[in-house]
Amino acid sequence: MSVSPETCSEIIRQFDAQGWHRTATPVDQDSGEWLVRQLAALGLDAREVPFPFERVDPDECVITIGEERIPAVPLVDSGLPASGTVVRGTFGAAGTPATLALVRTSAHGMAPEVEAVRDAGHVAIVAAVSGAPGGASLLNAWKFDSPSGPPIVQVAGEAWERLERARASNASIEIRCGASRTKTAANNIRAVVPGSVPGSAPLVVLTPRSGWWHCAGERGGGIAIWLEVARLVRAAGFRRDVVFLATTGHELGFLGAERYLNEQPEFAARAKAWIHLGANIGAAQSSLMVRASDAALLELARTARALATLETPPQFVVAENPVGEAGVVDRLGGRFISFVGAGFPLFHSTLDRWPEAINPAAIAAAGNAVFEMLSALDGNGATPG
């Protein structure tokens, strides 16, 4: 009746090996089916919950300066032109003919440097995104449902100096930045462990399951805890239903959670509480941040015995303006406890791979704490042994 580091590591190994977990791609669809199979093996009735989706499929994206080629990735909430399009120009002031903007930003947060020039009249924007050396990091596409501005392409932060030289020399630049669009469906995954008292307000465990790359550290901890806690709840027998929800579309402004809850907005507030398993839980070199919608839930998290086993003590905060999927729940009146890892150096990076990106012992400790909290919220007194 406990979460083991070895099992968590094996779950994340399998998740990492699947490939790039971008929403509604074949890898994302296969990964969802894998989760359904994992839950079915526990004896749970798991299913896909599809919603209509138009996937953006960028061309191979590259910036050419003379004979030099710099790999790039389009930002899919920008105004990407038709497949095969090439944009040409020079870096210069907004509003002058055929000028490109060059900005430097971070993969964390809303990228205000990019937003400051999105509508400034450039024909394209090049964003050098800082991240772990030797890899490429990407911004989230916060405005996926309402793309705007010119094409925005992202390059590794290490390309900044080369691009600065191109700006200083007024060099001619060519950007291949076209994309096609495919109407398809994206899938959230849902399972319920039935409780013994019908009609009781349910508990919900929510984790995002999509991201730009392999996402071993970013998403792996949440996925492993989600599956392992489902196993523990199934074995313990709760009074309340416990709903397990894994949403896609995280990198696109938390789209999967938005779609799921917009279809049934009353569900967020009807649940007794939500446990949100956010990014980077137990990721290497990270520390745990525990946020809650109110002081009572924060105190419940603070008293979870398993968290006392972490090498670095967690931070506990009442969240006034929560982000991520917890923010979607909060906006619709739901109470939540949210786990997120802070300080992960490989966040949104191609280098976020199993096993180097994870701390299995920290993931297991967080998982055992989640089970403790669910047990207390259910009222059955079960704790990991």
pLDDT tens for residues 47-84? 999 999 999 999 999 999 999 999 999 999 999 999 99
Q: Give residue 60's pLDDT.
A: 97
pLDDT at 383 over 90: no
Cα of first residue to Cα of last residue in the chain, in angstroms, is 5
pLDDT at 98 over 90: no
Rounded distance, CA 138 to CA 128, Å? 9
pTM for this entry: 0.96
Domain 5-55+183-378 shares a fold with domain 60-177: no
Q: Give residue 380's pLDDT.
A: 54
Closest C-alpha to 107, from 364, 382, 358, 345: 345
- Residue 49: strand pairing partners: 188
Rounded distance, CA 91 to CA 128, Å? 14
At residue 1 the predicted structure's pLDDT band, cuts being 50, 70 and 90, is confident
At residue 93 the predicted structure's pLDDT band, cuts being 50, 70 and 90, is confident
At residue 356 the predicted structure's pLDDT band, cuts being 50, 70 and 90, is very high
Q: What is the pLDDT of residues 155-185, one digit of tens each?
A: 999 999 999 999 999 999 999 999 999 999 9
In contact, 127 and 119? CB cutoff 8 Å: no
Q: Give residue 381's pLDDT.
A: 46
Options 3.90.340.10, 3.50.30.30, 3.20.20.80, 3.40.720.10; CATH for 60-177 is 3.50.30.30
Using alpha carbons, list the distances in angstroms from residue 376 to 152, 212, 256, 268: 47, 35, 28, 20
- Domain 5-55+183-378 -> CATH class: alpha beta
Residue ranges per structural domain of the chain: 5-55+183-378, 60-177
Rounded distance, CA 188 to CA 265, Å? 16
